[in-house]
Amino acid sequence: MQYVAPEKDAQFLMFDLFRAQEIWSGIPAFGDFSQDLVEAVIAEGAKINGQVVAPTNAIGDLQGCTWNSGQVTTPEAFKGAFTQIAQGGWLGLAGNPEFGGQGMPKMLASLIEEMFWAANTSLYLYGTLTIGACVCIEAHGTPQQKALYLPKLYSGQWTGAMALTESHAGTDLGIMRSKATPHADGSYRISGTKIFITSGEHDLAENIVHLTLAKLPDAPAGTKGISLFIVPKFLPNEDASLGSRNAWASGSLEHKMGIRGSATSVINYDGATAYLLGEENQGLAAMFSMMNYERLSVGLQGLGAGEVAYQLSSRYAKDRLQGRSAQGAENPNAAADSLLVHPDVRRMLLTQRAYNEAGRAFALFVGLQLDLAKYTDDEQAQALSELLTPVAKAFLTDKGFEGAVMAQQVFGGHGYVHEWGIEQIVRDARIGQIYEGTNGVQALDLISRKTLRDGGQTLYAFIDRMAADPIAAPFDEALTAAFERLRRVTGYLVDHSPDDVHLAGSVSTEFLELVGHTIYGWLWARMATIAPADDFGQSKRVTAEFFFARLLPKTLGFEASICQSTNTVMALPADRF
């Protein structure tokens, strides 16, 4: 698969739109990140992904993973590429330098993550779970745990996995059954079975560190009785050398629609030695620190899929000759004109592009808020990153998948067969909408916890902030109307939810779409306002005009479907389904 990282767009967003240099100059931890260094990191990220990672994508899908008596073998092509990713320090980009990370801004790391996802989603999953485990150990580990695990994980010698799901407990983790019993030496013993564990067992690293949720014998019922544990495959000695094999094993691999190079295991814990991470019964909150990171990362997975799908379909549309332009032959010497003469094909390409480029700007904006929340005392940044995390996870993966399907449509029947690679992108992108909390659950989080709980205050403040930006004509009026619409709908929900307990859950998905489209409208207007006077800038302005003409008007429909006087969703009795 051919993939070219969007370097120019990355630099435009980083330096022109968000003026990262100016922001970072006020953050001591980022003082060393000159424009030259950032450009070099982007260029190196583009190189490893274009030359090393992307070529392993199709072959990894064909080879898949295999299971034999608990041993899991990953695609042959993955081993060398993963070693290069690990040895190149790519897993520790935003990690703490004290433990071998590179201390880069999350905003910059997000750009690089998008490239890895685009180049090979399955392969990067081994990396992203490792990074997530680091975030969690760094936030909740003891000094000894940090010193023991983080350097090995950042360097990719060991990898991470998160083990939450059980066959009867997915979204509802409070009913999980895995048990942890205290042991005399201060450790614990875990028994139970987890399913769907990404990178739970594989052959790419010498050790695998599970972060596993389980319940103590006297734990309170529900989510308040869950604790988090470090459960390594090999129990490490104090000097991080490997000791005995722990008592857990992969029971089988799932056979999946996509991400076939990613090993997804059933894991059986049979009295496995476990070390408490954080406090007893506080496991879910601790795990969320990993999951929030993962959620932006999974959003970037959607963006990466959307970007590579656009690249394949726009190249194909230029080469494929079918039919003639409505205004007469454009290529009279050939049997037919290219697909690009057909407005409907252009609509599909522009739709993909409009969501991708706004999506990249949005992901960087969320990354920036995470940086500000972590390294400064900007309270608004903390609130904003919490508000926007579910939007980033769900909107980016929804638009990435929809974009991949649209790209497949551009290929016609050739999109349905294996040869062109686009059907793999569709299969691989689909999971982003499901794991790390389904997109339905993200929408509920946005509407209930992040919006209604504070009477819409955080969202209103964000709308005010967006509205304060100078926006040029012709986008200013439509954008102001979109802000008003979002304020109106939020007000409607705040006013009517107390009288209808099902209102929020009935319209949550439309609300997330409304929020996402409004933010993308803001970002497109800003990008168009500052775009340079060259071809790149002109493409930005035309794509912005397309977004405003064809995609932002969807918000009218979302308002209409949310603000109904009667809620029909719960009207049908259960036995009629």
Which residues from 139-168 bind ligand FAD, rule CB under 6 A? 162-165
Closest residue by Cα to residue 320 from 343, 344, 336: 336
- Does the protein bind ligand FAD through residue 126 (CB under 6 A)? no
Least Å distance, CB 325 to ligand FAD, is 44
Give the span between the Cα atoms of 267 and 269, in whole angstroms.
6
Picking from 37, 148, 53, the residue whose alpha carbon sits closest to that of residue 100 is: 148
92 vs 170 by CB, closer to ligand FAD: 170
Which two structure tokens, joined as six digits, stand for 252?
A: 């089988």
Q: Is 435 in the site for ligand FAD (CB under 6 A)?
A: yes
Name which of 381 and 515 has its Cβ closer to ligand FAD: 515
317 binds ligand FAD (CB under 6 A): no
Site string for ligand FAD, 239-258 (x = CB under 6 A): -----------------x--
CB 162 within 8 A of CB 287: yes
Helix ranges, 336-474 (H): 343-375, 379-410, 422-430, 439-444, 457-467
The reply to whether 197 sits near ligand FAD by the rule CB under 6 A is: yes
Q: Which of 25, 87, 144, 171 binds ligand FAD (CB under 6 A)?
A: 171
* Minimum distance from residue 201 beta carbon to ligand FAD (Å): 12
- In angstroms, what CA-CA distances link 378 with 101, 181, 450, 456, 483? 24, 41, 18, 20, 24
Q: How far is the CB of 172 from ligand FAD (least distance, A)?
A: 6
CB distance 121 to 301 below 8 Å: yes
Helix (H, G, I), strand (E, B) or coil at 312: helix
Which residues, 6+ apart, have CB-to-CB distance to 301 below 8 Å? 117, 121, 124, 128, 397, 400, 429, 432
Candidates 120, 198, 246, 351; binder of ligand FAD (CB under 6 A) is 198
- Give yes or no for residue 173 binding ligand FAD (CB under 6 A): no
Tokens of 110: 């997000």
* Shortest distance in whole angstroms from residue 213 CB to ligand FAD: 8
Regarding 305 and contact with ligand FAD (CB under 6 A), the answer is no
Write the DSSP symbol of residue 448.
I
In the complex with ligand FAD, the residue whose CB is nearer, 395 or 547, is 395
Convert residues 255-284 into a mask of x (bound to ligand FAD by CB under 6 A) and - (unbound).
-x-------x--------------------
Q: Catalytic: which of 201, 436, 510, 513? A: 436
Token pair, residue 381, equals: 């940044």
Binds ligand FAD by CB under 6 A, chosen from 431, 512, 531, 551: 431
Q: Considering the rule CB under 6 A, would residue 427 count as an interface residue with ligand FAD?
A: no
Phi-psi category of residue 199: left, alpha or beta, with phi > 0 → left and psi -120 to 50 → alpha = left
* Closest to 149 in 3D by CA, of 198, 108, 95, 107: 95
Q: Binding of ligand FAD at residue 124 (CB under 6 A)?
A: no
Asked if 177 is part of the footprint of ligand FAD (rule: CB under 6 A), the reply reads no
Shortest distance (Å) from residue 63 CB to ligand FAD: 17
Decide if 303 contacts 356 (C-beta within 8 A): yes
Report the SS3 class of residue 31: coil
Residue whose CB is less far from ligand FAD, 198 or 518: 198
Q: Is there a contact between 567 and 502 (Cβ–Cβ < 8 Å)?
A: yes
Decide if residue 438 touches ligand FAD (CB under 6 A): yes
* Nearest approach, Cβ of residue 565 and ligand FAD (Å): 24
User: Which residue among 41, 58, 444, 459 contacts ligand FAD (CB under 6 A)?
Assistant: 444
- Token couple for 3: 């993939």
Shortest spacing between CB 198 and ligand FAD, in angstroms: 3
Instruction: Please identify, among the stretches 7-15, 23-31, 349-357, 427-435, the one whose residues bind ligand FAD according to the rule CB under 6 A.
Output: 427-435
Q: Please identify which residue in 441, 461, 478, 530 interacts with ligand FAD, judged by CB under 6 A.
A: 441
CB atoms within 10 A of CB 268: 17
229 DSSP β-pair partners: 212, 276
Residue 231's identity, in one-letter code, is: V
Size of the site for ligand FAD (CB under 6 A): 19
559 catalytic residue (yes or no):
no
Which position's Cβ is nearest ligand FAD?
170
- Please state, in angstroms and as integers, the Cα–Cα distance from residue 205 to each residue in 149, 158, 233, 252, 313, following that order: 14, 5, 11, 19, 35
Distance CA 192, CA 176 (A): 9
For ligand FAD, the binding residues (CB under 6 A) are 162-165, 170-171, 196-198, 256, 264, 431, 434-435, 437-438, 440-441, 444
The residues that are catalytic are 436
